């Protein structure tokens, strides 16, 4: 699709030199930042790096993805420079593996903070990690394990117009009236918050309470207390009240007249009582 010059003006490119200077600093978590004009998927790129033994702290950003991935083989679609597509490579060696379920939630907390702080919008999370503004999906997170590494991928809709969204349940910061749609400060705020939360959580060996992560997640997440239907990966449905996030980042659902169940992954739909 041909883009008008006005579209291009509204969607300036990211500046990799400035981003590196701001984010790749001595003693910091981020060790390198690669910015691609186009790539299949930043998560796939970071996963390849993980397999090659690249140390933790790599950041991969793309102006456009040709095969952006969602969970369960779904797609993440966005026009060039209309949003953020970023993946980070982490190796949480001192954290027990059963706590890794907190990583996508941690990314959600960082993303919510960046959107509230820079775009000045009232963003909330839907467990596990959809970023919703006014009830519509504005961002998504994909966590993938590659051997002992974890790739955290984050997609955020910044200036997408209605005709560019995948459907009526999606939105962008611009469409919600954001105070700023400048992707540079958004990306900086996101990566700084991500590093801060990750270091706290890792230094607490993944403990959600001593790190403060559970409290922060509960503040940002609108799912608790809701009547939900969770579509589980095996095709089953679980209906009940979402009551808590357990020590491993799982959602606890209390069905009527049956024991509570903790779910590690699934798609949540809010159901009216």
Residues that bind ligand BT5 (CB under 6 A): 41-43, 65, 68-72, 74-78, 85-87, 137, 140-142, 153-155, 157, 166, 170
Q: Between 102-114 and 183-203, two packed helices, what is the crossing angle to 10 degrees?
A: 140
Q: With respect to ligand BT5, which residue has the nearer C-beta, 211 or 226?
A: 226
Q: With respect to ligand BT5, which residue has the nearer C-beta, 71 or 192?
A: 71
What's the half-sphere exposure (Cβ side, CA atoms, 13 Å) at 45?
23
Q: With respect to ligand BT5, which residue has the nearer C-beta, 154 or 195?
A: 154
First to last CA, the chain: 44
Instruction: Check residue 2 and give left, alpha or beta (phi > 0: left; psi -120 to 50: alpha).
Output: beta
* Contact predicate 215/245, CB 8 Å: no
Q: With respect to ligand BT5, which residue has the nearer C-beta, 211 or 263?
A: 263
Nearest distance, CB of residue 178 and ligand BT5, angstroms = 15
Query: What is the token pair recorded at 270?
Result: 């809010």
Residue nearest to ligand BT5 (CB): 140
Question: What is the DSSP annotation of 107-166?
Answer: HHHHHHHHIIIII---EEEETTTEEEETTEEEEEEEEEEETTEEEEEEEEESS--GGGSS
Query: What is the token pair recorded at 75?
Result: 């797609």
Q: With respect to ligand BT5, which residue has the nearer C-beta, 153 or 208?
A: 153
Nearest distance, CB of residue 236 and ligand BT5, angstroms = 18
Q: What are phi and psi of 52, to 5 degrees?
A: -80, 0
Nearest distance, CB of residue 27 and ligand BT5, angstroms = 26
Nearest distance, CB of residue 151 and ligand BT5, angstroms = 8
Nearest distance, CB of residue 142 and ligand BT5, angstroms = 4
Q: With respect to ligand BT5, which residue has the nearer C-beta, 69 or 81?
A: 69
Nearest distance, CB of residue 26 and ligand BT5, angstroms = 27
Q: What are phi and psi of 99, to 5 degrees?
A: -90, -5
Nearest distance, CB of residue 87 and ligand BT5, angstroms = 5
E strand or H helix at 199? helix 183-203
Q: With respect to ligand BT5, which residue has the nearer C-beta, 78 or 211?
A: 78
């Amino acid at each position: 699709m041909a883009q008008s010059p006005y579209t291009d003006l509204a969607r300036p490119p990211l500046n990799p030199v400035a981003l590196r200077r701001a984010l790749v600093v001595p003693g910091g978590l981020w060790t390198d930042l690669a910015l691609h004009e186009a790539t299949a998927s930043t998560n796939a790129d970071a996963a390849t790096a993980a397999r090659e033994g690249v140390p933790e702290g790599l950041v991969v950003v793309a102006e456009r993805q040709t095969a952006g991935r969602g969970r369960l083989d779904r797609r993440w679609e966005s026009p060039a420079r209309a949003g953020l597509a970023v993946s980070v490579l982490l190796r949480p060696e001192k954290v027990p593996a059963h706590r890794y379920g907190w990583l996508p939630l941690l990314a959600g907390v960082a993303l919510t903070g960046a959107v509230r702080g820079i775009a000045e919008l009232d963003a909330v999370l839907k467990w596990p990690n959809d970023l919703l503004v006014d009830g519509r999906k504005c961002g998504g997170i994909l966590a993938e394990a590659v051997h002992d590494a974890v790739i955290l991928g984050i997609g955020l809709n910044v200036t997408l117009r209605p005709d560019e969204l995948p459907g009526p349940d999606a939105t962008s910061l611009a469409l919600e009236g954001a105070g700023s749609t400048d992707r540079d400060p958004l990306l900086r705020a996101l990566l700084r918050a991500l590093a801060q939360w990750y270091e706290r959580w890792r230094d607490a060996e993944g403990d959600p309470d001593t790190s403060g992560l559970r409290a922060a997640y509960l503040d940002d997440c609108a799912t608790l207390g809701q009547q939900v239907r969770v579509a589980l990966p095996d095709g089953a449905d679980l209906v009940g009240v979402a009551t808590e996030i357990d020590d491993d980042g799982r959602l606890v659902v209390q069905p009527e007249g049956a024991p509570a169940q903790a779910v590690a992954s699934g798609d949540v739909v809010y159901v009216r009582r």
